Amino acid sequence: MADGKVVRVSGPVVAALGLERAKMFDVVRVGEQGLVGEVIRLQGGTATLQIYEDTTGLRPGDKVVNTGQALSVELGPGLLTSIYDGIQRPLNVLKEQSGDFISRGLVIPALDEKREWEFKPIKKNGDKVVQGEIIGEVQETPLVSHKIMVPPGMEGTLKDVKAGSYNIRERVATVKTLEGDVPVFLATKWRVKTPRPIAKKLAPDTPLLTGQRVFDTFFPVAKGGTAAIPGPFGSGKTVSQQQLAKWSDSKIIVYVGCGERGNEMTEVLATFPELEDPRSKRPLMERTILVANTSNMPVAAREASIYTGITIAEYYRDMGYDVALMADSTSRWAEALREISGRLEEMPGEEGYPAYLGRRLAEFYERAGKSVALGPEGRVGSVTVVGAVSPPGGDFSEPVSQNTLRVTRVFWALDASLAARRHFPSINWLNSYSLYSEDLRSWYQSNVAKEWPDLRAEALEILQKEAELQDIVQLVGYDALPESEKGVMDVAKMIREDYLQQSAYDPVDTYASIGKQYLMLKTILTFGRREAESLKTGAQASQVAAMPVKSKISKVKWTPEDQVTSMVKEIEGDMDAQFGSLAQEVRA
């Protein structure tokens, strides 16, 4: 292809002539350093490019080379444990080659080309294979077996397949198709803007258990679902997402730091390799991929980082795994869209965002889902997407929040006033909602307890009643309330402080299994019912508040998982004894 030349530079947006054979979304190399860019508009003989690197020093007349390929990610063994930038360059290798700051124009393979992997075929020569069918496996990490699949759009007869050690550039098998022989490698490439094909989409019916009580109990997200976690600066978005990434029961975690502050991403990069998976007791990084794109990196790469993350997530979904993608934050991604749109001189929409903001957000979230993968095995996998939103000033009516809420089914509303009171996670239980609650009802009843949906409804009703009583308390004071309403306030306080508050930094409280959550909530609500009965018979709320068992209940959250059942039995015995003696005192 003939080279083009730069005619105009406007930040990350460059206009070029001489690229007559270019197609939309072709990747180009610009200037002497070969900066990576992408064709985003073709108008007459002019191609408009967005550059994924700093364009300082680029000038009219510099050459533009069209690669003829769309922006793609490399998919294969070695993705897990890796830390990439927005266009899938491994940051550890970049650091070795260019120091603490990334040199422009560096092109580094996403996967280690020299490392050898032990390939174990599960198909033999002469087998008929179709797209998506698994022909062999590689043990990528002790936690994850990497499935080598027939690429989409290919079918035929397998030949030249044999076990052995291979790197990602060596052929492991050949598929004899109608068009001829096609080699199969351990790694494959896929265009980031194109969703990977599936056989069938399924309804979400299993919760993504996160170990965070406010999420699992009150506002659950299904595997294959979508959730938005908007909140103002300092309300705990990043810590909440990190908790979800650390403890959710997905097989694979993809964490995309999109335009976040460098110190926050540094914390992620420093802490994740040290963490232990609570189920396998292995390092958490063995099932994690990090995509780091900080706020001082070129804005165009923010858009790429989101698509890089979701494409990797879809790849592991196709193997039959449950994948959770954390995008932190889509607001920074939308800001990049706004900047590029402004430089393209497009007609601005609401608050300067491009008119297609809603469509782009919908396209991203629609790539989530639970589905049957291609291939005869009927593998079921899922991609769950949790997107953080950073509305300026905590204003949820701004375009990114509103467009996100239209396409996501879970809304975890972070509240600055709760954060100011040191209530974390600072999820406002009155504003948040989950549209998966009814879909997941039967799962909770079968796997946790028959009464689980009723306990959840009862707890939410108590919190709602407390919010109504708060207005009265501010006018007349707590002491002026009837005893029964004092009881409601006391139980609501227990739910808030002993159940909903959870420390991300405490080794025990950072994660609570669904079984522990059930016992904790049941114990608090049982105490509330016993208190309501006592108040009806003439007891005072102050007498109930003075019971030693109440402080014991507050300590359940700090109790290790293997001791919770015995502690709850002990509390039940104490409740019987103390409410019994209170009843005798009242009768006397």
Give the confidence band of 1 by pLDDT, cuts at 50, 70, 90.
low
Buried b (16+ CB within 10 A) or exposed e, 288-323: bbbbbbbbebbbbbbbbbbbbbbbbbbbbbbbbbbb
Angle, helices 300-318/330-343, rounded to nearest 10 degrees: 130
Higher-confidence residue: 368 or 259? 368
Q: What is the CATH number of domain 448-587?
A: 1.10.1140.10
Give the confidence band of 2 by pLDDT, cuts at 50, 70, 90.
low
Q: Give which of 149, 190, 141 is closest to 172, Cα–Cα.
A: 149
Buried b (16+ CB within 10 A) or exposed e, 179-200: eeeeebbbbbebebbeebebbe
Q: How many helices (H) and strands (E) does the chain have?
A: 16, 26
pLDDT, position 505: 87
Give the confidence band of 82 by pLDDT, cuts at 50, 70, 90.
very high
Q: How far apart are CA 466 and CA 453, in angstroms?
A: 20
Domain boundaries, the chain: 4-70, 79-109+199-434, 117-186, 448-587
Structure confidence by residue, pLDDT tens digits, 493-548: 999 999 999 998 898 999 999 999 999 999 999 999 999 999 999 999 999 999 99
Quote the tokens at residue 34: 């070969």
Structure confidence by residue, pLDDT tens digits, 139-170: 999 999 999 999 999 999 999 999 999 999 99
Q: How far apart are CA 59 and CA 265, in angstroms?
A: 33
Determine whether domain 117-186 maps to CATH 3.40.50.170: no
Composition of the chain by helix, strand, coil, percent to 5: 40, 25, 35
Burial status of residue 582 (CB atoms within 10 A of its CB: 0-12, 13-18, 19 or more): buried
Is 172 a residue whose pLDDT tops 60? yes
Structure confidence by residue, pLDDT tens digits, 569-584: 999 999 999 999 999 9
Count the Cβ atoms, other than its own, within 10 Å of residue 114.
Answer: 8
Quote the tokens at residue 517: 């959550």
Give the residues across from 141 on adjacent strands. 144
Provide the terminal-to-terminal Cα distance of the chain, rounded to the nearest Å.
98
What mean pLDDT is predicted for residues 391-400?
88
Do the beta carbons of residue 63 and residue 34 sit within 8 Å? no
Quote the tokens at residue 345: 């001189």
DSSP for 336-383, written as a single string: HHHHHHHHTTPPB-GGG-BTTHHHHHHHHHTT-EEEEPSSTT--EEEE
DSSP for 488-527, written as a single string: HHHHHHHIIIIII---TTSTTTT---HHHHHHHHHHHHHH
- Model pTM? 0.93
Structure confidence by residue, pLDDT tens digits, 83-113: 998 889 898 888 888 777 777 888 889 999 9
Q: How far apart are CA 147 and CA 140, in angstroms?
A: 9
> At 293, is the secondary structure helix, strand, or coil?
strand
> At 427, is the secondary structure helix, strand, or coil?
strand
Share of the chain above pLDDT 90, in %: 77
Greatest C-alpha distance within the chain: 100
Output the CA torsion sign for 163, 311, 225, 279.
positive
Do the beta carbons of residue 377 and residue 363 sit within 8 Å? no
Do the beta carbons of residue 85 and residue 94 sit within 8 Å? yes
Do the beta carbons of residue 284 and residue 274 sit within 8 Å? no
Structure confidence by residue, pLDDT tens digits, 429-479: 999 999 999 999 999 999 999 999 999 999 999 999 999 999 889 888 888
580 alpha-carbon distance from chain centroid: 48
Structure confidence by residue, pLDDT tens digits, 336-382: 999 999 999 899 999 999 999 999 999 999 999 999 999 999 999 99
Order of all β-strands in the sheet with 117-121: 144-149, 134-141, 117-121, 164-166
Q: How far apart are CA 96 and CA 100, in angstroms?
A: 9
Q: Do domains 117-186 and 448-587 have the same CATH topology?
A: no
Which CATH number is 79-109+199-434's, of 3.30.1660.40, 3.60.20.10, 3.40.50.300, 3.40.50.2300? 3.40.50.300
Q: What is the CATH number of domain 4-70?
A: 2.40.30.20
Q: What is the CA radius of gyration of the chain?
A: 28
